[in-house]
Structure formats: structure tokens, C-alpha cells
Chain A
Amino acid sequence: MAEAANLHAAAPERARTGGEGSELSRAKVRSALLFLAPMVVVLFLVAGWPLIRTIWFSFTDASLSDIGNYGFVGVDNFYNSEWGGLLSDANWWTAVWNTLYFTFVSVSLETVLGMIVALALNVKFPGRGWVRAAILIPWAIPTIVSAKMWGWMLHDQFGMLNDLGMTLGLLAEPVAWTASPDTAMLAVIIVDVWKTTPFMALLILAGLQMLPSDCYEAARVDGVHPVRVFFKVTLPLVYPAVMVAVIFRALDSLRIFDLIYVLTSNSQDTMTMSVYARQQLVDFQDVGYGSAASTMLFLIIAALTLATITIGKVKLGGDPR
């Protein structure tokens, strides 16, 4: 989506330079198109074609067991009077709610924690380079590995979290973190926050390092309280970078699959839209219905992204100030 928005933002620019029709600008446009062509072709092959195919399948009754043999069923997969379709499936709406809840809570936590980490790393102290590298470790570990690792730590019988809680007297009895409906979502959010806060911190840190240092000296000379400086100077100036980071992260968590599938499998309490689509597509072999779920997932993410960009007044690829 980010690429799409970028292309969109560049379009008026191209129209302006190309519209003049001078030889030099036409030559520039030609070479620009030449450089863009390979990327457009690759994007079409790896993103465009599967997307079109998925949307096509969502209007069919294709099955995974015999994918070549299907018939067109119109919007039956989305809605029909016979068995309801996707839009009247309570499980689907639970998955949508779970996804939105998970995204909102985890991205909010990651933004706040990432900002705190970034502010700490933005201060010069001995060994800062090492700390910066070390903090990236959770993010560098493949999701499957960290999910498995946390799965063991959260295990109801052998997990160290229960052991620690019992030893310290915080827990009266072992908690089935990933299995209990009360804690499953919490467990998933904890792991996601642990894993992706470093990414958030790094993006915000990059934004912080672009800020003009002389403004801070001016504020010091003027005796402005550091908290006020943070809310009145740092936050407004770093806001564009934070919003880009938030959008990246939100896109990532709206399509979350691996972490949740490894930790809680097909549990209703944590099932997200991706997990739901996979279950329909693979477990129930229903390619048509699963594709309809995937198409809805795509539409929801697209709508939310557009809303965020519009409401947040984020200029992707533009001058941040």
C-alpha cells in the first residue's frame, strides 16, 4: 500500500514536467518509465496477479481438492439467502473484531514503548551502539522461532512464566495463558509487543535524529521545561515519522497470522482474519469462500489505511516538514 501511495503522490509531479513537452523533460520521463518498468512488471507478477486471482476465486465455488474445476456463483460467497455467506458468519465478524482489537492494542503499546526506547537511545551514553544492536534482537528472530519460544515460556505446566509467578506469589495457580479465553489475546499481544517494539523504536529513532539540535539548545537557554519541550517541539516534529511507523506496523498486524497460529492455533478467542481465511482455504478446502474472506481482508486493510492517511494528514514520501 505504501508503494501505491508513493506512486500516487508522484503522479502530479510527472504530469507537470511532462506537460511542458520540452525535449529534455520528455527524455527524463522516458528514462523514468524505463527504470520503473521492471518494478511494475515484478509487482504485477508477485502482487497483482495473485490478488486478481483471489478476487476472481471469491466469485466461484472452487475447491482445493480439484482447483481446475469450478463454477461462477456471483456474490454467493459474500452473501446469499440460502446459507448466509461470509457477511452473515458470526465467526468471521469475531475474527474481524479480534484483528482490530489486536492491532489497536498492540500498535498503541508498541508506539508508546518504542517512543520511550527511542528517546533513551537518542541520548549519547557510553555503549550506545551496543545497546542499539542488542535491542534489535527480538525483531531479528524469525517469528516462528520467537512464537515457539514464548509458547514454551507461557506453557501451563512447564512454562517459566507460571513458575516465576508462583514462586514470587503473584499467581495462586498455573494459568493456561494461550488456552484460556481470558488470557489468550493478552498473551498474543505481549509476545507481539515484545517482538516489534524494537522496530518501532528504530523508526522513531531515525525520525528523532533528523530533528534540528539547535532548537533544543534554544529551549535550554530559554528555560523551557523538558516535558514541555517534548510535547511542544519533539512530538510535533517527529509526528510524520511516527505516523509512517504506525501505518507500517498497523498493516503488519492487520494481516497477522504466524504468531497467532503458532501460539493459539485455530482458537476462536484469538482467530484473526488471516487465520480464518487459511482455515477456510486449507482446512475446509473451500477456495471460493476462503478467497472471499481474503478479498474482504484486503478491502478492510485498504479502507483503514486510506482512513489513517487522510485523518492523520500523513504525507508519505513527502517532505516531513
Chain B
Amino acid sequence: MAEVLLKNVRKSFGKVETIHGVNLEIRDREFVVFVGPSGCGKSTLLRLIAGLEDITSGDLLIDGKRVNALPPAKRGISMVFQSYALYPHMTVFENIAFGLRLAGGGDDAVKQAVEKAAGILELTPLLDRLPKDLSGGQRQRVAIGRAIVRDPKVFLFDEPLSNLDAALRVQTRIEIAKLHQDMAATMIYVTHDQVEAMTLADKIVVLRAGEVEQVGAPLRLYHHPRNLFVAGFIGSPQMNFIKTRATGTGPDGVRCALPGGGEVTARVSAEGVVEGEPVTLGIRPEHMGAANGGVGVEGKVDVVEQLGESHLMHVVLPDGQRMIARAPGDAQAREGGQAVLGLDGALCHLFRDDGLACARLS
């Protein structure tokens, strides 16, 4: 059992407040990912949970016990750092064992624990090497080994994959996911990479400027973003936004004018929306059919990015707004030509002037 509870947690550095009252409930064995642009406070929040920074106000509870005043070592956590934080003069064995010696138990117990962790992470042949003789991925595994050997209640990961190359990142990501299954521990993971967030998380916490924007399961955030920021942050390429006006409301949604004429009925709750108010229509690139008939917007194809399995068409609308549509890899698309991008009202998001989303009906 290791629940982590944050109650109105605030952090100030001098006079500058960087975390503005975060409330968060992390259940036992949950994999929670903090995600957000750089400077959003995600690493600070993790360091507050770790005890590497003091909490200015609010409560942090681990397993129902308030731990604000406890040093990191007494919180039952272990942490994997972005830069691995290995001791450069110690072998892999010594690195993993270093934090362990004080926990009690003789040399044999330490040796057994280290060898078990090394076995899980396939580090056994490397135990006598120094960190400088290891590859980036191996160093990262040593850092993870150092964390698991202490058998903590909560694992904290601070951007653990950002120093690895792309292929290794995918591999290590899968290893971490497997580790979470095997260890049955609570994990809190900080990243700016939304692919990591989507694939690893049971629950994503989107942060911006020290505030929680939305908390939820990855697909919940993808399909039902609470506001413009989350809609733009989750998903790649980012969601297309069309600034327009509501031209009518009804039980089946909100009608919106489209640039270049025509209308689309976004299938969202019309509650509170008044006719003529400025709204932002959102639609993901993968939901913009190239030729679905029905309603659509027409524009000039500016750039085509060929990814192999699909094309990304960058289209400039007559009023200058840019759209990105994901078309199948075999689609015929020429740069400089005209394209009609279909809009399905059932797949549209609608955001009011304050940035908040209207609830989707489907």
C-alpha cells in the first residue's frame, strides 16, 4: 500500500511561487506521469514529493502519513535521476549497494539483494565495471537498479529517458512498463515527452505554470481535453484550431461558421453557448479526412511531410489559418495544389472564449 496524496501543495523560491496549490490523489500501484512544457513545475513537484525541496505550504501524505517534515530517506521513496547520478568512482556493484549498507543486514544480504536487482536488469556481467565504461542505457539501468534494490513504496523518475537515443528510449520505456507490472509499486514519472506519457501512464497529470490543467487516463485526455492547453499539448501533430463564431445552438450541438463559407455542427453540449459568441473549433489531424464529402474547408497545400505510413499535409486556408491533416501514405497530395479537408462534427472539439471545452456528446 502506497498512496500519495497532495493537498493544496505550494512551493515558493524566495518571493516567486512556482507551484500554486496542487491537489492530487495517487492510488496504490498506480503509474502516474507528470507531463508539461519545460518550466511548468513538473520536476519541482517531483522533488517536493522526494523531499529534495521543502514544501512551502500544504500537506503531502504517503500512506496516510504526513511526511512534509521527513527527510527523503524516511519517506519510503527512491528516485531515478535524469543524469543517472551514478558515483563515478564506484563500480556498478558499489553503486547499487552504496545506499543499502545502512538499511541493516550483513554483507551477504547486501550481496544477495544487489545480485537479484542486477539479475532483473541484466546487469550481472557488468557488476565490476565503472560507470564510465558503460553505455547510456546501461548507466540508466544501474540507476534503476539502485532504486529497486531499496524496495521502496514509491518510485520517482525524473525524465529518465531524455539522455538516451530514440531506439534505446523505446526499449527502456518497455522495460520500465514491465518493471511496474513486476514490482507492483506506485510510480511517479516526469517527462516532457507525451509519447512516454501516453504509453506508460495509468493516469496523466498535465501541468502548466505550476498548476494542474487536467488529470485523467491517457485516452480520456486525448478524447476529452478539458481546455485548449491540454487539447494542444496531448497529441502529435497538435490539434488544429479554427477561430470562428457560433452561429446557432441546438440539442445536437453547436453550429459554427467555417472559413471560406459553410457550417459544421460540432457534437458538443450547447449549454451556455450563445449565438454569435467567438469560439475555437478543434479537430485532430488524424480526424481531418481528405475527401469525406459533406462539410469541409478548402485551402492550398503548402508542405507535405511524408512519414511513410501517412502524409502530413500542411494546408493554408484562405484567411491565412494553417491546418495539418494526416492522410494515408498512399494518398495523392501535391504541394501547391488545392485540397478539401473534411470535418466530421462528431469528432470536433469546441472551446469557448475562456479556453474551456464544451462537453462532447459522443
Contact = CB atoms under 8 A, between A and B. Distances in A.
B89 A236 contact: yes
Contacts of A225: 102
A224 interface: yes
Nearest to A218: B85
Size bracket, chain A contacts: 10 to 19
Contacts of B73: 220-224
Interface in A196-225: 212, 214-215, 217-225
A53 interface: no
Contact of A221 (B79, B88, B102): B79
Given A223-B73, A232-B98, A217 B52 contact: yes
Contact of B81 (A218, A233, A236, A321): A218
A223 B73 CA distance: 4
Interface string A300-321: 0000000000000000000001
Interface in B87-104: 87-89, 98-100, 102-103
A221 B72 contact: yes
Contact of A223 (B72, B83, B86, B88): B72
Given A215-B85, A218-B79, A237-B88, A224 B50 contact: no
B245 interface: no
B267 to A, nearest CB: 49
Instruction: Specify the main secondary structure of chain A where it touches its partner.
Output: helix
A222 B52 contact: no
B207 interface: no
B316 to A, nearest CB: 46
Given A221-B78, A224-B99, A224-B102, A215 B87 contact: yes
A220 B72 contact: yes
Nearest to A217: B52
A217 B99 contact: no
B85 A217 contact: yes
Nearest to A321: B88
A149 to B, nearest CB: 42
A220 B88 contact: no
Contacts of A228: 102
Contacts of B99: 218-219, 221-224
A125 to B, nearest CB: 15
Task: From B72, B100, B103, B132, name the one whose CB has the most chain A CB atoms within 10 angstroms.
Answer: B72
B153 to A, nearest CB: 13
A215 B88 CA distance: 9
A243 B74 CA distance: 37
Nearest to B78: A221
Contacts of A215: 85-88
Interface in A170-217: 212, 214-215, 217
Contacts of A220: 51-52, 71-73
Given A217-B52, A218-B79, A321-B132, A223 B85 contact: no
A64 B89 CA distance: 56
B284 interface: no
B72 A214 contact: no
Contact of A321 (B78, B89, B150): B89
B204 interface: no
A222 B98 contact: yes
Given A222-B78, A321-B89, A321-B132, A214 B98 contact: no
A218 B47 CA distance: 12
Contacts of B132: 321
A218 B149 CA distance: 14
B48 interface: no
B203 interface: no
A228 B71 CA distance: 17
Contacts of B102: 223-225, 228
Nearest to A220: B72
A214 B81 contact: yes
A269 to B, nearest CB: 44
Contact of B87 (A217, A221, A223, A233): A233
Interface in B332-355: none
A225 B103 CA distance: 11
A223 B77 CA distance: 10
A220 B78 CA distance: 10
Contacts of B141: none
A158 to B, nearest CB: 52
Interface in B250-305: none
Contacts of A232: 87, 98
B146 interface: yes
B88 to A, nearest CB: 5
Nearest to A224: B99
Interface in A223-254: 223-225, 228, 232-233, 236-237
Contacts of A214: 81, 83-85
A224 B97 CA distance: 11
28 contacts: A212-B83, A212-B85, A214-B81, A215-B85, A217-B79, A217-B85, A218-B79, A218-B81, A218-B87, A218-B146, A219-B98, A220-B52, A221-B52, A221-B72, A221-B77, A222-B73, A222-B78, A222-B146, A223-B71, A223-B73, A224-B98, A224-B99, A232-B98, A233-B87, A236-B89, A237-B89, A321-B88, A321-B132
- 9 closest A-B pairs (Cβ-Cβ)? A223-B73, A222-B99, A214-B85, A218-B85, A221-B72, A221-B79, A236-B89, A214-B81, A214-B83
Given A212-B83, A221-B72, A222-B98, 12 more contacts: A214-B81, A217-B52, A218-B81, A218-B87, A219-B98, A220-B51, A220-B71, A221-B50, A221-B52, A221-B78, A232-B98, A237-B89
Interface of A: 212, 214-215, 217-225, 228, 232-233, 236-237, 321
